[in-house]
Amino acid sequence: MNEEVDRLERAKKKLYTNVFSQKKHGFEGLHEKKKPDTQSSWSPDVVEDKNKNFMPKVKHHHVKKFFLFSVGFFVLAILVAGISIFRGSINVSDKNIEMNIFGNAFAEGGETLPIQVEIKNKNSLPLELADLVISYPKGAGVGGEEIVRERISLGEVPSRDTITEESEVLLFGEEGSIKTIKATLEYRVKNSSAIFVKEATFDVTLRSAPILVSVTGPETMASNQEITLVVDISSNSEEVIEDLSVKATYPFGFIFKSSDVTPTVGNNVWSLGDIPPGVTKKIEVKGTLSGEDGDDRVFRFETGIEEPGDPSTLAITLTSYLHSVSLVKPFFASTIKINGETGESVAVPASDGSEVEITWVNNLPTRIIGAEITATISGSAYDKNAIDTNSGFFRSADNTIVWDSTNYVKFQSVEPGETGTLSFNLTPLPQYSSGVGLITNPEVVISISMKGTKSSSDGISESVSNATVSRAKVDSNLSITGELSYNEGPFDNTGPIPPKVDSETTYTVTWTIANSSNIIGGAIAEATLPSYVSWKGAISPGSEEVSFDELSRTIKWNLGDIQKGVGYTSGHRSVSFKIGLIPSSSQVGEAPIILNKTTLYGKDKFTGSSLTSTRNALNTSLYTDTGVPETSGRVVN
C-alpha cells in the first residue's frame, strides 16, 4: 500500500511542477504501427523500458546508397592519382631539363670568346641520342646576318645528372652591338622516335669592332656635281685580318668615274689582302651624283672576309658604314644650252658652228660679291682656233673663257634671285685630216665653274661654288652619191646613145656611201623610178640587199650598220643596179630624169641623232662616163 502511495506522490509532483520538459518524437508514416506491450503494474522499471521502444524505426535506403557511392569514388580517385604519380615519375619533361650558357657578357669584335653550356637532366629517365647545337651570327651584314652552327654529339644524358660542354665563338659587328648565342638541345626518349628540343640564349655586347670604317665626303651638295668620298679602313684587331675586302653599294643617280685603288670586281669591290694590326687603308672614289632637290642618297660600304673563289662576295661581313648625302638647290647655279638644247650631252653638226649659252642665277637670299664664271673647253673635237667669245676673255694657255667683274659688270655684285646669260661660239675640228687621221666619237666638253663670296647680315663672308658639265657630241659625216653610166660599171648596157624615141636604152646606177667618225645603225637608201623607167633586176654585188617595190616604184637599199671610216680610212661601200628607159616623143631634145631624188638615213650610235643625206635626181646626161659626149643624154627621134 505504501508503495502505491509513493508512486502516486511522484506522479503528483510531476503534474504540478513549474519545470516542464517534453521529449520530441518523430513523425511516423502511414504504415501500420507496432503497438507496444502494456503492463498492468506501475513498476518504474517496466515503464521506463517500454517507453524506449515507443519510437518507430525510420528506414534510410537512399542515404546508404549515396554514402557507398562516395566512398567508392574516393577510393577510385586515390587509385588514379597514384597511377598518375607513378607514371609521371618515369616520363621525360622539358620542364625538368635546365640549360644555361656561361661566358663573358662583353667581348672584343673579331676575337674568340670561350663559352660553357651546362645541361641538367632532372628527369627520372635518360635523354637519348642527344645533340647540342650552338648557333650565333656570322657577321655584321646589313641585309640579314648569316648564322654559324656548330653541332656537338652528346650521346646519352643520364637521368638526374649534369653535363658541361665547352666551345668557342667568333663574333663580328659594330661597337656596342649585341649578339645572341643560342644553345639548342635535341634529344629523344625511350620508345619514341620523335625529336624533342630545349633552348637557351646568351647575349654578348661587342666592346669594339675588328675593322673600323669611316667615310669623308660632303653631306650636302647640288645635283649633277662631282662627288669625292674617301673611305678609311683601319685594323682594330690584335691579329692579322686575312683576305679583307671592301664592297660599296651606290645609290640611285650615282655614276662611278674613278678610284685611286683599282677595283677587283666591277667598280665597287676592292680586295685589300691581309691587314696587320694597326694598319689603315684608304680608297678614294669619284663620281657624279644627280637627283631632285631634297633627295637623300645613301652610300653603303661593307668590309669583310672575301669568299674563297668569289671575290665579288663577302663570306663574313665585319663592319658596315652608311654615308648619306642630301641634294640641295645649288647656291650659284648655271645651265648650259648648246644650239638651244640643254642636257648632259647635245648632238651638234660636224661642219657648222655651234652657239653655247650659259644662264646663271643667284639662288641665295643674300648678295654674291665678286662672282666669276669660267668655261673650260676640251675634248677630241675641240679646236682652239675656232672659239669666238662675245664678252669673256679666252685664255688659250689653259683653254678657258673667263667672265668676272673686270669684263662683266654684273659680277661686281649679284643680287638675290638675279639672273643673266653669257655666250660663245665654237666649231669642232674636221673629223678627218691627213695629219691627224680620223677622229672617232668626236666631242667637245664644256665645264662651267662658278664662284663668289656670299655676304651675310652678321658681316661674315663665305665662299660659294658650283660646277656644270655638258658635252657637244659631233654627228658623223654621212653621205651618199649617185652616178649614171652606160659604158662603165659591172653590167653590159644596150640600146641607142643618145636615147631614141620608142627605143629602150639600159643604164647602170651606182650608189656610193661614205661615213666618217661614228657607227651608223639601221641605214637605208631609197629612191623612186619615173613611170617611163623600168627595173631590170640586175644588182652588183649580190651580197648587198636591194629590192624594188612595183606598187610604189621604190628602190630600197638596206645597208644595216655602216662602220666608221667608210670612204675615209677604208674603201667606199657601193652598189650598182640596172634600169631601162623608153623615151616618148614628148621628151625629144630633153635629158629626162631617170632616177628621182635619193635619200640615205640612219641613226648615229654615238650622238643618238637621226641623220639623213640626199642626192639630187639623175638624168640621162652621162657626165662621168668615158667616151660619151655631153650631148649624148638628149632624146632624139
Residues 130, 121: Cα–Cα separation, whole Å: 12
Residues 348, 443: Cα–Cα separation, whole Å: 9
Quote the cell numbers at residue 114: 670561350
Between 192 and 402, the more confident residue is 402
Residues 148, 280: Cα–Cα separation, whole Å: 29
Task: Looking at mean pLDDT, say which of 2-6, 9-13, 313-317, 538-542 comes out highest.
Answer: 538-542
Residues 351, 429: Cα–Cα separation, whole Å: 8
Residues 55, 34: Cα–Cα separation, whole Å: 10
Between 230 and 41, the more confident residue is 230
The pLDDT of residue 35 is 52
Closest to 318 (Cα-Cα) out of 306, 308, 305? 305
The pLDDT of residue 205 is 86
Helix, strand, or coil here: 330? Answer: coil
Instruction: Output the CA angle 341-345-346, nearest 5 degrees.
Output: 40
pLDDT per residue as tens digits for the range 328-338: 888 888 899 99
Residues 33, 296: Cα–Cα separation, whole Å: 110
Task: Looking at mean pLDDT, say which of 38-47, 315-324, 551-560 comes out highest.
Answer: 551-560
The pLDDT of residue 62 is 58
The pLDDT of residue 171 is 81
Task: Identify the band that residue 348 occupies on the pLDDT scale cut at 50, 70 and 90.
Answer: very high
Closest to 262 (Cα-Cα) out of 311, 195, 297, 210? 311
Class of residue 607 by CB neighbours under 10 A (exposed 0-12, middle 13-18, buried 19+): buried
Between 85 and 346, the more confident residue is 346
Lowest mean pLDDT among 6-20, 366-380, 489-503, 616-630: 6-20
pLDDT above 90 (res 23): no
The pLDDT of residue 475 is 96
Between 2 and 195, the more confident residue is 195
Residues pairing with 599 in the sheet:
526, 614
Local structure of residue 80 (DSSP, 8 states): H
Lowest mean pLDDT among 174-178, 186-190, 537-541: 174-178
Sheet strand arrangement including 241-249 = 220-222, 310-328, 296-307, 241-249, 269-275
Lowest mean pLDDT among 127-136, 447-456, 472-481: 447-456
Average pLDDT over residues 278-304: 91
Between 192 and 264, the more confident residue is 264
The pLDDT of residue 50 is 45
The pLDDT of residue 460 is 55
Quote the cell numbers at residue 357: 649659252
Task: Identify the band that residue 304 occupies on the pLDDT scale cut at 50, 70 and 90.
Answer: confident
The CB density around residue 323, as the number of other CB atoms within 10 Å, is 19
Instruction: Output the CA angle 551-555-559, nearest 5 degrees.
Output: 135
Residues pairing with 131 in the sheet:
153, 186
Average pLDDT over residues 468-492: 94
The pLDDT of residue 36 is 52
Residues 90, 14: Cα–Cα separation, whole Å: 76
pLDDT per residue as tens digits for the range 102-150: 988 888 777 788 999 999 999 999 999 999 999 998 765 544 567 889 9
- Between the alpha carbon of residue 174 and those of residues 109, 181, 209, 235, 283, the distances in Å are 8, 16, 5, 13, 21
Average pLDDT, the chain: 85
Whether 440 contacts 515, CB under 8 Å = no
pLDDT above 50 (res 95): yes
Task: Identify the band that residue 12 occupies on the pLDDT scale cut at 50, 70 and 90.
Answer: low
Set out the domains of the chain in order of their start, with CATH numbers. Answer: 100-208 (2.60.40.10), 211-328 (2.60.40.1510), 334-474 (2.60.40.10), 478-633 (2.60.40.1170)
DSSP codes of every residue in 224-264: TEEEEEEEEEEE-SSSPEEEEEEEEEPPTTEEEEEESSPPS
- Residues 530-546: b if buried by 16+ CB within 10 A, e if exposed: eeebbbbebbbeeebeb
Beta-strand ranges (E) seen in 392-518 are 393-395, 400-403, 413-414, 419-426, 432-433, 437-438, 443-454, 462-474, 478-485, 505-515
Quote the cell numbers at residue 604: 648615229
pLDDT above 60 (res 1): no
